[in-house]
Amino acid sequence: MQRAVMLMVSATAFANALMLSAANVALPDIARELKVDAVLLNWIPLAYLTAGAMLVLCFGRLADMVGRKKILLGGTMAVIVTSVLAATATNATSLIVFRLLQGAGAATSLVAFISIVSSAIPVQSRGRGFGLVASTVYFGLSVGPLIAGFVIDLVGWRWAFVMHLPFALIGLYVGVWVVRVDWKAQRPGRFDFQGAIVYALAILGVANGIAMLPAANASLFLLAAGLGLLLFVNIELRVDDPLFNVRLFRSHPLFTLSCAAALLMYAASFSTLGLISLYFQYVRSMNAQTTGLLLMAQPVTIALFARHAGSLADRFELRILASIGIGTTGVGLIMLSLLGEFTSIPYIVASLVISGYGFCLFAPVNASAVMSSVEPIHFGTASAGHASFKVIGQMISMAVVTLIFGSLIGRVQIGADNFDSLQRSISLSFASTAALCVPAVVISASRGNIHGND
């Protein structure tokens, strides 16, 4: 049964990774066909992230109430439908709406992967299980750019939005017909609608604030979003069955620090492949297929080493491994911040390999730290909280890029007349995200030992 569970999770994870990487490679072709300006272009990945951030806590709570497998399979069905809709989009607005819906479906996997593996795999093998899932995800991210580049050059960007569907269908089939068990909390409780609405509106405020950067009105949305998050915390402290048990942050400091490290690490690393895709296709005038081939360097590295990193997490102290990973990623990002018009391809590939190796040391190890820091009764809440911090970190990454692009390029289409501004924007974005690795290392290194406390 454990093998079937891992097949279900891995197939779904691979499909979602293909979907995500394909969208990055397709951005320049989407911008040209749908006439999308440089700032609005960022909404295509941001819409996906926004929906995930808005709903991940809801799905985490529902997974505990109705079953983690049911939530995963329901989300997979939604991804299948919305992917077809995204491929038929006729303008930027409809594509962004469909990406929102696609992100809502994919948000189920952000919660279910960790909680299902934690529920189905014994604790002594959990790090290896997380490593296998991470390896599968990044294998999808590895081949995704290459396949997407080939598909885009051959038949257009729309097909890049549906090429992952066979793997989603495999995950759905195994989940329905092979994996006969499900996992949920012993006491389901009631769903916190008030908290869910307040949290979703707060995240929507964050997304709108990001989209309006660098305009002055953006600060109003971000301030309102901050107040909304404070209201959410107040609500969660008062209800009997909270959407997210915020008391975990006080009672489980290792969980808190692990989530904070995840937020900063994903804020630092998420925009890398999207920025490099723009650099290759605009500044270096490469086609989508060549770009996809070169983008494979980072996710291939992660795919090759993530399972080994997960095994290390079962034997060595987690905070040390994770901290080394963050620092290594920072080195790769600093190297990428030095990109110029004629930077050698081997240098760029080496930078992606270094940052990728750092990330593969961090991701499965930190996930293991999160789940090992709480009791089984909190698995659903912990996985949802960890996933929420990851997605918010990714939104912060997009906020940094949007602010820099809006300041240096503005709301115009990218063309030969602003390639210099684009190159400066890319370099500054990498420098800014590299700086986030500094506090991430400090936070990661300061958390307590897992194995030493066992």
List pLDDT tens digits, range 1-29: 778 888 898 899 899 888 887 887 888 88
Mean pLDDT of 207-224: 83
How many angstroms separate the CA atoms of 355 and 336, rounded?
9
List pLDDT tens digits, range 121-153: 776 676 677 777 877 887 787 788 778 888 888
Q: Residue 418 gets which letter from DSSP?
A: G
Mean pLDDT of 353-373: 85
Which superfamily does CATH assign the domain made up of 2-177+243-447 to?
MFS general substrate transporter like domains (1.20.1250.20)
> What one-letter code names the amino acid at 317?
E
Question: Band of the pLDDT at 74, cuts 50, 70, 90?
Answer: very high
Q: Give yes or no for a contact between 445 and 323, defined as CB atoms under 8 angstroms apart.
A: yes
Question: Band of the pLDDT at 454, cuts 50, 70, 90?
Answer: very low
Q: Residue 44 gets which letter from DSSP?
A: H
Q: How many helices (H) and strands (E) does the chain have?
A: 19, 0
User: Which range among 78-82, 130-134, 380-384 has the greatest average pLDDT?
Assistant: 78-82
How many angstroms separate the CA atoms of 389 and 435, rounded?
18
List pLDDT tens digits, range 247-295: 888 888 888 999 999 999 999 998 888 899 889 988 898 888 888 788 8
**Of 34, 299, 40, 272, residue with least CA distance to 147:** 299
- The secondary structure element, H or E, covering residue 76 is helix 68-87
Mean pLDDT of 200-223: 84
Q: Residue 203 burial by CB count (10 A; 0-12/13-18/19+): exposed, middle or buried?
A: buried
> What one-letter code names the amino acid at 352?
L
Q: Give yes or no for a contact between 293 and 326, defined as CB atoms under 8 angstroms apart.
A: no
How high is the pLDDT of residue 449? 65
Average model confidence (pLDDT) across the chain: 85
**Of 442, 428, 210, residue with least CA distance to 333:** 428
Question: Band of the pLDDT at 375, cuts 50, 70, 90?
Answer: confident
How high is the pLDDT of residue 198? 95
Q: Give yes or no for a contact between 400 and 433, defined as CB atoms under 8 angstroms apart.
A: yes
Q: Pick 215 or 445 by higher pLDDT.
A: 445
pLDDT at 311 over 80: no
Domain ranges of the chain: 2-177+243-447, 192-242
Question: Of 10-19, 54-63, 370-379, where does mean pLDDT reach its minimum?
Answer: 370-379
Predicted TM-score (pTM) of the model is 0.77
Q: Report CA-CA distances (Å) from 275 to 209, 347, 384, 402, 446.
A: 21, 16, 28, 11, 31
Which residues, 6 or more positions from 197, have their beta carbon under 8 angstroms from its beta carbon?
none
Q: Give yes or no for a contact between 103 and 49, defined as CB atoms under 8 angstroms apart.
A: yes
Which residues, 6 or more positions from 136, have their beta carbon under 8 angstroms from its beta carbon?
10, 13, 14, 17, 303
- First CA to last CA across the chain, in angstroms? 28
